[in-house]
A and B are shown apart, each in its own frame.
Chain A
Amino acid sequence: MNRLIASVAVGLFFVLSALAAFVSGAYTAITEPAAETVEHAFHKTPKELHLASDGPFGRFDKQQLQRGFQVYSEVCSACHSLKYVAFRDLEQLGYNEAEVKAIAASKQVPGVDPNTGEANTRPGLPTDYFPSPYPNDIAARAANNNAVPPDLSLMAKARHEGPAYVYSLLTGFTSQPKALLERFPDAKTPEGLHYNPYFANLNLAMAPPLTDGQVTFADGSPNTVDAMSKDLAAFLVWTAEPSLDKRKQTGWPVLGFLLFATVLSYLAYRNIWAEKKAKH
């Protein structure tokens, strides 16, 4: 009996504490309803984006990855690093060894003068990683209105619906909606920032980076902002996970084997238990 009283007493302590918190929370919610925030009202979830690499059977479209790489090289790389990707990885996009060497050699990477030991730069080798556009974060901040342009290697995995987010952000720059300024007069986009409803706090330091026709593709593919953004999103899916194709290719035989083994083990189980099961 003592045990029962003790457990009920402890139980009621927690129950009543939780209910007290509930009552005070409910009272606050009624008397001071949480003010609507501009982010909550105007932030948009990413647009739909379909890529060749989507789904369990999806594979990279290497032509598209090459176009995306070209967009990165000619536009994004001015401010954004890609530090986890090495030039040698580009062979996966369908470039041959000579092409990879040429791409690497076209970039200057940090080096050391073999005679004086002083820091200098040298042409890249296939084993080098993509060089960063800024020597450090302070330099990056100074050049970009106090915002550090994030590394893009993992961007497609580092945001919810990453690839669609990249595509939506690049195509989502617009002027602030009238309704927004009417409801939230204080939320005018500050000087030097740019309104984009796909960005978490609606205003980002990056100016719209792409314009129609900015990059010319060798295969004559469309080079609208929309098309280039899709190509870049596809490329960033690859940089975030170069082993994506291999992962899915490995997965199917593994699942096939497991299915076979599971069916066999089910039959073995039924066979072994046949005598012990109730006969109806």
Chain B
Amino acid sequence: MSFPWANHYTPSHPVMKWMDEKLPLPRLVYNAVGAGYPVPRNLNYMWNFGVLAGFCLMLQIVTGVILAMHYAANAGVAFASTEHIMRDVNWGWMLRYAHANGASAFFVVVYLHIFRGFYFGSYKAPREMIWLLGVVIFLLMMATAFMGYVLPWGQMSFWGAKVITGLFGAIPVVGEPIQQWLLGGFAPDNAALNRFFSLHFLLPFVIAGVVVLHIWALHIPGSSNPTGVEVKSESDTVPFHPYYTAKDGFGLGVFLLIYCAFLFFMPNQLGHPDNYIPANPLSTPAHIVPEWYFWPFYAILRAFTFDIFFIPAKLMGVLAMFAAILVWFFLPWLDNSPVRSGHYRPMFKKFFWFGLIPTMAVLFYCGGAPAEEPYVMLSQIATAYYFLHFLVVLPLVALMEKPKPLPFSITEAVLGSDDEAKLAAKS
């Protein structure tokens, strides 16, 4: 679907005409991310991150496929083959650092993309399906990143694999058989490494497939915008190309500057030194921590240190950690406020900036810290607020809040008046 005033694809070159008749791929691109896709004219920089996430996915696939040509997924030689890439493969160090820091960059832009959605209510009707697919992409990314981190077969790889698969061991009765089935043994070893490599290669292409669905679903209602007011007339939109290709191009430049500063000048800043020690099943690291992008959820996992009736603390932690992400699936139905954008929701805005954001910061910090006081107590308080926010605060705020008046249209929000559309609405 598109708006009636969308530009139509009219190839003039004979080759393009011929192509359009046989396989209208250029037409598809034109309508998807070209001049044929009308987009609200008032998108701010927070709307850059979808394109950047797509770029990161491609970057990870390209660097990953080349790394796979040199990497050996065998517990005996995996660590050495990683060092072979770093030392002997031409530009291998750059590829590996690009891939490792690319994972971090991917999560940075995706978290910003998700929090853009939280604040501007991008998950609300008619965009629920885009949101649901987005959460699926996020879950797939977490699985892919986790398995990728296991591949260098360093200490954190091994112990991370052990801890994360151990989560399944918390399930009553069937937990341990499931854990052994996942690992192909009693502890992570060659069987686990091989299947993790296979899945780590496969899942990015599954992600790419879900991304196609995500963008497809996006093109039904069109992009959301910072006012949350739907598009009313042609003056509310601009064609994606050249307006947003230009803006995204600038955003991509800023992103690449920051990314390359990490890649070339502090490539190990976001990693853990222990992963430069070869995996050793007989020596447990003092503090097992996952990569930074899992810290908030790791903090929730570790916050439950107390048996709740018949539920052991460990199982409670696992349930809470999964629930913390699964709750996002229900967001379109938890937040019933008819107003999308946080700009026009005074109560929601306060809970967002003074509740959710500090909570995420505390969870992030505590997830990376050792499991001792005061970090555990802090993460318990933050975990409590996290669930309170999504499951209690959002539904109640939607009931109680009196939203601020919305602008008549996007054009009015940008230019201060939109007389043409108002007249048309009256007649």
- Chain B interface mostly: helix
Asked if B232 CB lies within 8 Å of chain A CBs, one says no
- CB atoms of B264 and A84 under 8 A apart: no
Asked whether A139 is an interface residue with its Cβ less than 8 Å from the other chain, the reply is no
| Cβ–Cβ contact A273 & B246, under 8 A | yes
Segment of A63-71, A105-113, A244-252 engaged in the interface with chain B: A244-252
Interface residue from B93, B277, B383, B391 paired with A18 (Cβ < 8 Å): B383
CB–CB B388/A15 < 8 A: yes
B14 in contact (CB, < 8 A): no
Distance A278 CA – B373 CA, assembled complex (angstroms): 53
How far apart sit A25 and B375, CA to CA, in the bound complex (Å)? 11
B356-405 contacts to A, CB under 8 A, are 372-373, 376-377, 380-381, 383-385, 387-388, 390-392, 395-396, 399
> Are A268 and B249 within 8 A (Cβ)?
yes
Chain-A contact segment, one of B28-36, B211-219, B304-312: B304-312
Number of A-B contacts (CB under 8 A): 161
A269/B246 in contact, CB under 8 A: yes
- Shortest beta-carbon distance from B263 to chain A in Å: 8
CA separation between A246 and B238, bound complex, in Å?
45
* A247 CA / B91 CA spacing, docked (Å): 9
Among residues 317 to 335 in chain B, which have CB atoms less than 8 Å away from a CB atom of chain A? 320, 323, 330, 333-334
Interface membership of chain B positions 198-217, coded 1 if the CB is closer than 8 angstroms to chain A and 0 otherwise: 00000000000000000000
Determine the interface band of chain B, counting residues with CB < 8 A from chain A. Answer: 35 or more
Which residues of B lie under 8 Å from residue A248 when comparing CB positions?
Answer: 264-265
The answer to whether B316 has its CB under 8 Å from any CB of chain A is yes
Main secondary structure on chain A at its contact with chain B? helix
- List residues 190-239 of chain B with CB under 8 A from any CB of chain A: 238
Of A11, A19, A20, A258, chain B has the most CB atoms within 10 Å of the CB of A11
Residues of chain B within 8 A (CB-CB) of A15 are 384-385, 387-388, 392
Contact yes or no, A11 B391, CB < 8 A = yes
In this complex, what residue of B is CB-closest to A84? B83
**Proximity string of chain A (121-147) to chain B, C-beta cutoff 8 Å, 1 when within and 0 when not:** 000000000000000000000000000
Interface segment, one of A1-9, A175-183, A216-224, A226-234: A1-9
A138 to chain B, nearest CB (A): 13
Residues A8 and B395 in contact, CB atoms below 8 Å apart: yes
Q: Which of B108-116, B120-128, B166-174, B250-258 contacts A (4 or more CB under 8 A)?
A: B250-258
Closest to B268 in A: A157
Closest chain-B Cβ to A190's Cβ sits at a distance in Å of 19
Contact B243 A247 (CB under 8 A): no
Q: Does B391 contact A14, Cβ atoms closer than 8 Å?
A: yes
Give 23 pairs: A residue, B residue, CB < 8 Å, sorted on A: A7-B395, A8-B395, A11-B391, A14-B391, A15-B392, A17-B308, A18-B304, A18-B380, A18-B384, A18-B387, A19-B380, A153-B83, A162-B273, A241-B86, A243-B86, A247-B93, A248-B265, A250-B264, A251-B260, A251-B265, A266-B250, A273-B243, A276-B238
Question: A residues within 8 Å of B by Cβ?
Answer: 3-4, 7-8, 10-12, 14-15, 17-22, 24-26, 29, 34, 56, 84, 89, 150, 153-154, 157-160, 162, 200, 240-243, 246-248, 250-252, 254-255, 258-259, 261-262, 265-266, 268-269, 272-273, 276, 278
